[in-house]
């Protein structure tokens, strides 16, 4: 029966089975970062590690939300809450909403990456109160992290800085950040599938028309692919970062792999220490 349920979309006909396979393939390409790199342990004697691990958890949840919305944006057929009075237009509108949500959430991911680095490697000052903690969140940004790492002469600082610069230069992440800024500051993104009235031109002056107010007009499917590539690059970097930090190195292990709750000096388990708090 599924073979009789078809969707004609952009010069291609999908059966229901093919639509499901298409969405499953897209979902499978959006990997999470390695779950085993999130150790289920707490570091009572290292407040920076405690905060950094909480930030890893928050980043995981943020990516889960971003990923969910991206999958729904890619999904070409939603059962609800769309009615078919306007044909496929309602489906396109719903997909665009999911896509915009995904872009906004992915745009926030690097902020959490910076916070993980800030607290894991002791960029922060003394924290005794919630106000101190809030102050550190405000202080934490790319400009300060890069400036501090640039001032260090050790190999590990150079490795981390190099990787950070590479992820910031990624063309797909740059596009996502640009689109997120458009959403934040201009209130919307334009998708060509939803623009039904672009067949006219209003000339206000010789150098200013109605088209200048619209900005870039995106294709929903192409934008989904770009955000997918940004996701994959982000996951690749997070896996590197968690390997680089190696939270579990704070403890020794028995031959059976059990943690030994001993007391190591920070210099023994941290690759970078900015402040000896």
Whether 29 maps to a domain, the answer reads no
CA distance 15 to 32: 29
Whether 206 maps to a domain, the answer reads yes
Listed in sequence order, the DSSP H helices in the chain are 16-28, 47-74, 89-107, 109-120, 130-139, 142-151, 155-169, 171-186, 210-214, 220-245, 266-269
Q: How many domains does the chain have?
A: 1
Partnered with residue 253 across adjacent β-strands are: 259
pLDDT digits (tens, 9 = 90+) for 160-214: 999 999 999 999 999 999 999 988 877 678 898 877 655 555 566 767 666 666 6
Are 237 and 73 within 8 A, CB to CB? no
Whether 191 maps to a domain, the answer reads yes
| pLDDT surpassing 70 at residue 1 | no
What pLDDT does residue 230 have? 98
Whether 26 maps to a domain, the answer reads no
Q: What pTM was estimated for this model as a whole?
A: 0.87
Consecutive H or E run containing 15: strand 12-15
48 phi and psi angles, rounded to 5 deg: -65, -45
Task: Give the structural domain span for 165.
Answer: 42-269
154 phi and psi angles, rounded to 5 deg: -85, 160
209 Ramachandran zone, left/alpha/beta (phi>0; psi -120 to 50): beta
What contacts 181, CB < 8 A, 6 or more positions away? 107
Whether 274 maps to a domain, the answer reads no
Both structure tokens of 37: 């790199």
Whether 185 maps to a domain, the answer reads yes
Both structure tokens of 112: 């959490």
What pLDDT does residue 135 have? 97
What pLDDT does residue 39 have? 62
Whether 205 maps to a domain, the answer reads yes
Whether 219 maps to a domain, the answer reads yes
- 44 vs 251, more confident: 251
| pLDDT surpassing 50 at residue 61 | yes
Segment 227-255 mean pLDDT: 91
- 256 vs 141, more confident: 141
pLDDT digits (tens, 9 = 90+) for 32-60: 888 666 666 666 678 999 999 999 999 99
pLDDT digits (tens, 9 = 90+) for 3-30: 667 778 787 888 888 888 998 999 999 9
What contacts 173, CB < 8 A, 6 or more positions away? 110, 167, 230, 233, 234
Tell me the average pLDDT of the chain: 86
pLDDT digits (tens, 9 = 90+) for 95-106: 999 999 999 999
* Count of Cβ atoms closer than 10 Å to residue 240 Cβ: 16
């Amino acid at each position: 029966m599924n073979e009789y349920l078809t969707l004609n979309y952009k010069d291609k006909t999908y059966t229901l089975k093919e639509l499901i396979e298409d969405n499953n393939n897209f979902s499978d390409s959006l990997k999470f970062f390695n779950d085993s790199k999130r150790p289920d342990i707490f570091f009572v004697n290292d407040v920076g590690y405690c905060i950094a691990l909480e930030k890893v958890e928050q980043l995981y949840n943020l990516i889960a939300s971003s990923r969910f919305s991206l999958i729904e944006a890619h999904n070409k057929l939603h059962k609800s809450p769309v009615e078919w009075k306007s044909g496929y237009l309602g489906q396109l509108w719903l997909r665009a909403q999911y896509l915009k949500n995904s872009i906004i959430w992915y745009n926030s991911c690097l902020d959490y990456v910076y916070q993980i680095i800030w607290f894991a490697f002791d960029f922060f000052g003394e924290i005794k109160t919630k106000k101190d903690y809030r102050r550190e969140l405000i202080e934490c940004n790319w400009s300060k992290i890069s400036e501090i790492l640039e001032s260090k002469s050790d190999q590990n600082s150079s490795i981390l800085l190099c990787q950070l610069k590479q992820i910031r230069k990624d063309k797909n992440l740059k596009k996502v950040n640009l689109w997120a800024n458009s959403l934040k500051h201009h209130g919307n993104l334009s998708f060509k599938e939803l623009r039904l009235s672009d067949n006219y031109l209003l000339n206000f002056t010789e150098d200013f028309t109605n088209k200048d107010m619209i900005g870039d007009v995106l294709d929903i499917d192409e934008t989904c692919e770009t955000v997918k590539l940004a996701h994959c690059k982000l996951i690749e970097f997070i896996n590197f970062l968690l390997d680089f930090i190696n939270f579990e190195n704070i403890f020794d292990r028995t031959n059976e792999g059990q943690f030994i709750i001993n007391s190591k000096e920070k210099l023994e388990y941290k690759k970078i220490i900015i402040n000896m708090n």
